[in-house]
Amino acid sequence: MVFSGFTFLLLFFPITALLVLISKNLRWQNAVLLVASLVFYAWGEPKWVFAMLAVTGVNWLCALPMQRESLPRAVKKLLLALGVLAGLGLLIYFKYAAFFVNTVGSLFGRPNLIKPAVLPIGISFYTFQALTYSVDVYRGKASVQKNPLKLLLYVSCFPQLIAGPIVQYADIAAQIDDRTITVDGYLRGFRRFCVGLAKKVLLANLCGAVISEIGMADAGSMTVLGAWLGAIFFTLQLYFDFSAYSDMAIGIGRMLGFTYKENFLYPFMADSITDLWRRWHISLGAFFRDYLYIPLGGNRVGTARMILNLLIVWGLTGLWHGASWNFLLWGLFFGILLIFEKLVLGERLNRIPGALRRIFTLLMFVLGCVIFYYEDVRLGFTHIGAMIGVSITNGVWSTLPLFDEKRLLLLLKYALPLVLMGIACTPLVKRIANKWEARHAKKRCGFDLASIIAPVALLVLSLLFLVGQSYNPFIYFRF
């Protein structure tokens, strides 16, 4: 079940929201949410619920005695290791075992020793969240959760279960026991959800359809224009898809009384690679910073060790997205850029005109997205070569045409949507919407009618588009 599907929009969430609203107290609300979350996850393949239950149960049992002052520190470390290994072990088995075994096997002429396991959806999200619980308790950052069902609610809560954001236990623990659903909060959540749904259905899905028309799968036959169009539309698809699901998750959480942190803050407005990764998938960056980079020593170590730390973190950040060489290369690409920016450019970066910094940052991100797209790394480099008009076949260099009739017609066909998407990547739309609402605000029944007109219109438009769309991919299946 996905947020942009009719089952969720017309059946699952309306029923869940109604049951939560009519629940007498928070205890009943938590019970409804827990059952709903398990149903949501089990909808496609019920057996994988047991894997999530096992990870949660092991982490609950391991963390339970950690706050006893009499418990030796060595025992606490052992319990922490067991809890962490329960989640990471499962993740490594399902997601990476075949990749690593077959990579080693290929060195000895046996590239396909084992088949990749069927990946439980959302496993990268819920294992990381279970891990944050054990680590936060060990560090004293959060109290032990004595009720295993409340911990299971944190791990399985459906708004952020399969597509993020990654919610750290310390940030949400208090809300499990103390939260309130208000009219204002519900309406704000509804607006946020509708914006996210529209970004997914109206923009991200359109980008995906354009990519299919461009023919990115055949990178070797690209023209320069086709290569750039493919790279730009895939970059936009990633942004609108990823940020749309975060918007929907944050909105649903708000309607249910939870407050989740922002996960995207207009990343294409960034003026450096460092700034970009403070704006893109913020919860993932925060996780690797808090639970890997800082424990490795972060910036408090020598230069050589800091470089190693950054390469480890970004290599694993890449592999988190999938067990494939292109993801590892994507992570290391940005790790190297960050190291260059930090150690080579330093303060000189601020003396470069802001427009040039933004153009360079955006260009690097687009190149990174091309690497991200192709599981066959060679095709990724072929595509990047096409972007500069160069093709290499059997070691022979040749130049590519700037455009062909097919890609030129595609540019003309999608020029206006492309411009509108570019505007949608900036804060301009939000500023205009806020000014319009402020100017037309009229209180009725305790809320502004103007503030719900646009979200309802977006919701209706999205549903109409979903009726006519056969293309509605869920790109998190590998995460």
Residue 463: inside a domain = yes
Looking at 388, 422, 441, the residue that finishes a domain is 388
DSSP string, 9-20: IIIIHHHHHHHH
Q: What is the largest CA-CA distance in the chain?
A: 75
Looking at 116, 151, 179, the residue that finishes a domain is 179
Predicted confidence band of residue 319 (pLDDT cuts 50, 70, 90): very high
Residue 464: inside a domain = yes
Residue 15 amino acid letter: I
Q: What's the distance, Cα to Cα, between the start and end of the chain in Å?
A: 15
Q: What is the pLDDT of residues 294-315, one digit of tens each?
A: 999 988 888 999 999 999 999 9
**Domain count of the chain?**
3
Q: Cα–Cα distance between 44 and 171 in angstroms, integer?
A: 29
Q: For residue 432, what pLDDT is reported?
A: 82
Distances from the Cα of 439 to the Cα of 184, 434, 435, 444, 451, angstroms: 18, 9, 6, 15, 11
Q: For residue 67, what pLDDT is reported?
A: 83
> In terms of domains, do 127 and 60 share one?
yes
Q: For residue 469, what pLDDT is reported?
A: 67
Q: Cα–Cα distance between 188 and 254 in angstroms, integer?
A: 7
Residue 152: inside a domain = yes
* Phi, psi (deg, nearest 5) at residue 391: -130, 140
Which of helix, strand or coil describes residue 266? Answer: coil
Q: For residue 326, what pLDDT is reported?
A: 94
The residue-averaged pLDDT of 99-115 equals 81
> In terms of domains, do 71 and 169 share one?
yes
The answer on pLDDT for 109 being more than 70 is yes
Q: What is the pLDDT of residues 142-160, one digit of tens each?
A: 899 999 999 999 999 999 8
> In terms of domains, do 244 and 278 share one?
no
Q: For residue 233, what pLDDT is reported?
A: 95
The answer on pLDDT for 52 being more than 60 is yes
> In terms of domains, do 10 and 155 share one?
yes
Residue 255: inside a domain = yes
- Pick the more confident residue, 133 or 111: 133
The residue-averaged pLDDT of 230-236 equals 95
> In terms of domains, do 277 and 239 share one?
no
Of the listed ranges 37-41, 82-86, 221-225, 283-287, the least confidently predicted one is: 221-225
Angle at 277 between CA 294 and CA 242, to 5 degrees: 115
Q: For residue 477, what pLDDT is reported?
A: 56
The residue-averaged pLDDT of 15-41 equals 92
The residues annotated with a catalytic role in the active site are 321
Question: Which pair of tokens denotes residue 35?
Answer: 């059952």
Of 74, 65, 52, nearest in space to 145 by CA: 65
Q: What is the pLDDT of residues 350-382, one digit of tens each?
A: 888 989 999 999 999 999 999 999 988 989 998
Of 229, 164, 65, 173, nearest in space to 475 by CA: 164
Residue 197: inside a domain = yes
- Single pTM value for the model: 0.90
The residue-averaged pLDDT of 115-139 equals 88
CB atoms within 10 A of CB 436: 14
Q: Whole-number mean pLDDT of the chain?
A: 88
The residue-averaged pLDDT of 439-466 equals 75
> In terms of domains, do 294 and 442 share one?
no
Q: Which domain holds residue 383?
A: 269-388
> In terms of domains, do 165 and 284 share one?
no
Report CA Rg, the chain: 24
Task: Match 């959540």 to its residue by tokens.
Answer: 189
> In terms of domains, do 139 and 280 share one?
no
Looking at 152, 179, 206, the residue that finishes a domain is 179
CB atoms within 10 A of CB 336: 15
Q: For residue 472, what pLDDT is reported?
A: 63
Residue 156: inside a domain = yes
Residue 226: inside a domain = yes
> In terms of domains, do 280 and 255 share one?
no
Q: For residue 265, what pLDDT is reported?
A: 93
Q: Are 83 and 131 in contact (CB under 8 A)?
A: yes
Q: Cα–Cα distance between 358 and 355 in angstroms, integer?
A: 5
Cis preceding linkage at 267, omega within 30 = no
The answer on pLDDT for 242 being more than 70 is yes
Q: Cα–Cα distance between 236 and 333 in angstroms, integer?
A: 19
Residue 403: inside a domain = no
> In terms of domains, do 42 and 170 share one?
yes
> In terms of domains, do 278 and 258 share one?
no
The residue-averaged pLDDT of 440-466 equals 75
> In terms of domains, do 274 and 257 share one?
no
The residue-averaged pLDDT of 287-300 equals 91
The answer on pLDDT for 120 being more than 60 is yes
